[in-house]
Chain A
Amino acid sequence: MRKFIADYGVYLALLALLIAATVLTPKLYDVNTIAVVMRQASQLGIVAIGQTMILLVAGLDLSIGGIFLMTSIVVADVTNGRDEMVIPAILIALALGALVGLGNGVLVTKRRVPPFVATLGMLVLVKGATQAYTRGVPGGFVPEVLGLVNQSWFVLSIPLALWLGLNAFFIFVLRRTSYGRKVYAVGSNSEAARLSGISVDAIRISVYVLGSCLAVVSGVVLTGYVGYVDRFIGTGLELDSIAAAIVGGTAFVGGRGGLLGTIAGVLMIQILSTMAILMGLDIQVQFIIKGLVILGAVTLYSLASIEE
């Protein structure tokens, strides 16, 4: 029972939600609605991949909101609306993102700052730095080509393809490569990992860097959705990505969980929000529902993890 809830609980909950939707909000099953849900889920899902891996090494990344803002400003500033500059802009954003991740990782490993504090500090630092750079008035234009992320062909879209592709890649990495094994080992028992010859710090730092880079990718997609530079872009997504991973069964203490659960967690969060909108509920009520789902999931997992 314990193992069953831990492995499949989130899928059962997702299924129940989908069944409930047939009665409550049949509009959810409209092709256009599905397409929108999947595009939005993809944007959250990409950053949740990184967050899941960071949680797996018993870490946490709250700096994501800063990376979103930085990404969208870099994209607008470097391209200033020119399509041909998109690739260089993304590369610059990735480099800066990697730097932020490196900072997080070094603080957590070499300076032994708790991840919560280190990444929260980094969030404030990055947001402050980007706003200082733009002097509070973000300039530049988002190139038109990024608007492609809003296009769907049936339910398929570029964000969805990216999400699925990245998931496939990282699921393979976590399950079938020695790097993936080391990620789990470091999160499960870092001292035992060190005594097994694993460079624990290097693994941790690399995961933070990966997480930040995935946040940049997600940030590019989000910038394309929004179409202009918004000072509040991506606010709250760091918490949504953590929620998706936790609801999907990844343990806060590390070493347990994975991306299949996170996919379901992302879908649950996205479908819940969409259903709430379709039912015409206030945004406040949406938050209440989201909160209840997270607390419910965590309660179930902790009940399930009480041995026998």
Chain B
Amino acid sequence: MSEYILEMRNISKSFAGVHALKDVTIRCRPGQVYGLVGENGAGKSTLMKILAGAYLADAGEIIYKGERREQMSAGEIIDSGISIIYQELALVPQLSVAENIFLGREPQRALGILDLKSLHERAAKLTERLGISMDTRTPVSELTVAQRQLVEIAKALSQNADLIVMDEPSAILAGSELDQLFRIIESLVEHGVTIIYISHRLDEVFRIADEVTVLKDGELVDTRPIEQLDRPMLVELMVGRPLDEIFPQTEHEQGDLVLIAENISTDTILENASLELYAGEILGIAGMVGSGRTELARALFGADPLTSGTISLAGAKGDSWNNPAQAIESGLALVPEDRKSHGLFTSLSVRVNLTLPILSRLTRFGILQSQAEDEIVEEAKDRLSIVMASADQEAQYLSGGNQQKVVLAKWLETNPAVVILDEPTRGVDVGAKFEIYKLMRQLNDRGIAIVMISSELPEVIGMSDRILVMNDGRIVGEVPQVEATEAGIIELATMADAVANAS
């Protein structure tokens, strides 16, 4: 037997003539953790889907446990010891932990009657092996996202997996949950299991991986032992050019007051929030998920009706609004957190997505002026370097970064005075992130005020002029950029009595 448990040699795959993978080779030794990194669209998922049998490679071969793998069904591949844990977990919420772990392979007595006793005993053994305490009779719907992920890992173990692929496992995990995941990975590795770990978060790759493979545009850039890499080097390999990871800064004075919100509450968790917004600044909003950040953004935009308080433009215009249409009229724009369900029209073309809020400007007697529209689309494409096959391509076929650029571009066309960005760089690769930051600075230079909500504290601290911290539906503190530290913000965002102090 060779020293590798898995070799994927010279794998190529194209979709409709576009190369998704070109001559990619990876090799994995048993009992090691392999980081697989690259921007969105680099080919990571395609490579793993070929491994899982979801796609068939156009060229190349897979050598698994010393043998050339013939075409296999997804089920046979699982039986051969390969498990893949996808980002969107594949559990049945109504079934219990044990039932999910052994779904389709439940221990049975005669006549196909389930052997529940053995089912739960075996499930308990697995959770014990993972070092987690969990009642295997609990329905999965009652578990936290982190616990569900552990159930997926237990399921992989129950299939005697020798090779586990984890696709962005940390995207939904927080601090202590992540530590637990890493402990489990370490113990799996000690038992000889091989892990392929896909992540956007480079810190984690450095923490857990033995070797890192970088893909870019469907091609292998390099595979190196982690000791030979540092963070800037890895970013450079991923992006293909040296990238100043520091957030772009510009010099500017505080501008005029543009928007005032006083004691606003909505039917959500949001309670008595007040803020002032000045031209040309970025106001960061930090806080845990569920602290009311998104609700604040929606309230400012008129998306949720106010139950108390007022929002209005400062100065001569003095507009106020209570629905999105009026807010847009007054010069507001909202790039929502959940791009797919609130921001993008996935089944419609890029063109339609881009011009929707400015249709009245592009029509005469209700009839669209194609030439004017083409110009707008062309301009937006160039300004944000949106990569697309054509303006008539459906938005769902763009990469995450390009989808986000489309949503951003749509609002820039309305010439807003205030832009609210809710998690503007979520699910966006490093290169596109940097472009979005640059765009934000350009907007500031034009005097546009930005409200930015983000879960990534380095981003909030790096980009904002002032930071409001939210906790349990209230604004509990304001921190100027120069004084902001991650620890300080987390303390305000999690302290129970911060809420009491604020009110």
Contacts and interface: CB of A to CB of B under 8 A. Distances in A.
Say which size band chain A's interface belongs to: 20 to 34
B499 to A, nearest CB: 29
Contact of A181 (B303, B341, B342, B368): B368
B357 A196 contact: yes
Interface residues of B, number: 32
A192 B345 contact: yes
Q: A178, A184, A192 — which one has the most chain B CB atoms within 10 A of its CB? A: A192
A192 B342 contact: yes
A199 B329 CA distance: 13
Given A195-B334, A197-B329, A178 B341 contact: no
Contacts of A197: 324-325, 327-329, 357
B348 interface: yes
B286 interface: no
Contacts of B410: 196
Given A181-B352, A188-B348, A199 B359 contact: no
Interface in B59-86: none
The A interface is mostly helix, strand or loop, or mixed, namely: helix
A235 interface: no
Contact of B366 (A177, A184, A192, A193): A177
B346 interface: yes
Interface in B347-372: 347-348, 352, 355-357, 359-360, 362-363, 366-368, 370
B301 interface: yes
A178 B347 CA distance: 17
Interface string A247-276: 000010001100000000000000000000
B326 to A, nearest CB: 8
A279 B215 CA distance: 61
A217 B345 CA distance: 33
A180 to B, nearest CB: 8
Given A178-B366, A181-B368, A194 B303 contact: yes
Given A176-B368, A195-B301, A185 B356 contact: yes
Nearest to B336: A195
A255 B368 CA distance: 19
A14 B306 CA distance: 54
A198 B346 contact: no
B44 to A, nearest CB: 16
A282 interface: no
A182 interface: yes
B324 A195 contact: yes
Contact of A179 (B341, B366, B370): B366
Contacts, number: 77
A195 B343 contact: yes
Q: A177, A188, A194, A251 — which one has the most chain B CB atoms within 10 A of its CB? A: A188
A191 interface: yes
Contacts of A189: 341-342, 344-346
Contacts of B343: 192, 195
A195 B333 CA distance: 9
Interface string A190-217: 0111111111000000000000000000
Given A177-B368, A196-B324, A191 B348 contact: no
A197 to B, nearest CB: 4
Interface in B1-53: 15
A84 interface: no
A188 B301 contact: no
A191 B342 contact: yes
A189 B352 CA distance: 12
Contacts of B366: 177-179
7 contacts: A181-B359, A188-B348, A189-B342, A189-B344, A189-B345, A195-B301, A195-B336
Interface of A: 176-179, 181-182, 184-185, 188-189, 191-199, 251, 255-256, 307-308
Given A176-B367, A177-B368, A188-B345, 11 more contacts: A176-B370, A177-B366, A178-B363, A182-B359, A189-B345, A192-B342, A193-B345, A195-B303, A195-B324, A196-B324, A196-B410
